[in-house]
A and B are shown apart, each in its own frame.
Chain A
């Protein structure tokens, strides 16, 4: 029995000089009741008072935390979000989400072959527990032996926009007017990369999806193009042509332009639309159903032009890129430019236009210039030749 006179109210405390975790040591209390009398047989008996201190190994489970910092390099130079890519979840989350941007646009012609940007993904990892940490460790380890392959991505950062001119038979791209079925004539430049509807349709669809995604992430992903406005134009073209029961695609050629039987220049276009016969099927039908009767001359009532670089198209009332002749011809022309917005439309050519302000052009930024109407006539159903034109240097 422990001498109650010695042990009563005795407390044993952890060693306060050490910072290491300590075991909870219970307070030693006198639990003998009643307290033995002073003449207890053991009272006054000699003994030993012992004290033992030290450390013992204790298995424990400790929480672990991890810090991750992702790095994105472009051509071996680290770049931040906004410089060619977005990281919607940031660069410190366990999962890295990347959306690469198109910082430039170019015309998708036969020479379009953009070199992809070369990106490398890496991370640094720091693991922490109990106030201790290891790292940061490079992942993948650049000093590993054998070396670990880097995570690389090749992204075509230039968006290709094909040039497409669409002439519609009816105003507002209507699919029918009275008994007249609607039609769409698509004309692409001579150097176009896509010279058939079978090639063009999937590219336009993919382009629409891509721009929809880019536009949803950030407006300024393509710094040189208003994505929302361009998307509206691309969607307008695709949806309008989708609905047309008659369709044809023509590739422009380089044609001599004569005056008084003398070649004065070369035009890039279609000199006579009456040579183009519509197929009696839509543009998504392949192969197209041939055997139609309607030609494309003197039919256009609405126009859509998709292009970049401020490109334009000239609509001529007469064949062979002419707006001159006797008093019986359609001696009229106008020039339609996409401006910086990448598309332009005249929803109706129904008007005796004499100057650019007479023509309703959409969207803002697109414009008409050089309107000529020698024998004042309505532009509707008069277009007989078309020509692709470049903006004149200022």
Chain B
């Protein structure tokens, strides 16, 4: 879902609810809030740039045999 659609979904879900139980009257503070509570962050997927460079060399092995036993491969 596109992020703008997610944001719109959050906004559309908002409802007004009274807080407290005070009966509305002159001089009596009454409060309202929006519910559900709004999220502070959002999980989404963003396109990230990829840039890769590589080099290959055309090499081949001399034969198909494995290295002799006891060969120090790191020295080859």
Contact = CB atoms under 8 A, between A and B. Distances in A.
Interface of A: 1-3, 6-7, 10, 12-15, 18, 20-23, 25, 28, 42, 45-64, 66, 68, 70, 88, 94-102, 121-123, 125-130, 132-137, 139-141, 148, 151, 153-157, 159, 210-211, 213-214, 217, 221
Contacts of B59: 42, 45
Interface residues of B, number: 46
B10 A151 contact: no
Contact of B11 (A58, A63, A100, A127): A127
B27 A100 contact: yes
Contact of B25 (A22, A51, A61, A210): A210
B69 interface: no
10 closest A-B pairs by beta carbon, nearest first, are A134-B7, A213-B27, A134-B8, A137-B11, A47-B57, A55-B47, A22-B49, A58-B48, A127-B7, A52-B52
B44 interface: yes
A100 B47 contact: no
Contacts, number: 218
A159 B50 contact: no
A57 B1 CA distance: 13
B24 A217 contact: no
Given A62-B44, A132-B4, A156-B25, A95 B49 contact: no
A46 B54 contact: no
Contacts of A61: 41-44
Contacts of B55: 2-3, 6-7, 47-50
Contacts of A14: 49, 51
Nearest to B5: A134
Given A47-B56, A58-B45, A140 B27 contact: no
Contact of A134 (B4, B47, B48): B4
Interface in B36-71: 38-59
Contacts of B58: 45-47
Contacts of B10: 64, 66, 127, 134
10 contacts: A47-B57, A59-B44, A64-B42, A95-B19, A95-B32, A99-B28, A100-B24, A100-B27, A129-B44, A210-B28
B18, B27, B40, B52 interface centre (most CB from chain A within 10 Å): B27
A98 B30 contact: yes
Contacts of A64: 7, 10, 38-42
B57 to A, nearest CB: 4
B24 A155 contact: yes
B16 A121 contact: yes
Given A123-B34, A125-B11, A130-B3, A55 B49 contact: yes
Given A60-B44, A61-B41, A140-B16, A96 B53 contact: no
Contact of A98 (B4, B16, B31, B39): B31
B38 to A, nearest CB: 5
A271 to B, nearest CB: 38
B18 A50 contact: no
Contacts of B11: 125-127, 134-137
Given A50-B52, A58-B47, A134-B7, 7 more contacts: A6-B55, A50-B55, A57-B48, A96-B32, A121-B32, A125-B14, A128-B7
A132 to B, nearest CB: 5
Contacts of B45: 57-60
A3 B58 CA distance: 12
A224 to B, nearest CB: 14
Contacts of B29: 88, 97-99, 213
Contacts of B38: 64, 66, 94, 127
B25 A28 contact: no
B53 A51 contact: yes
B74 interface: no
Given A68-B34, A95-B31, A95-B33, A53 B51 contact: yes
Given A20-B49, A51-B52, A129 B16 contact: no
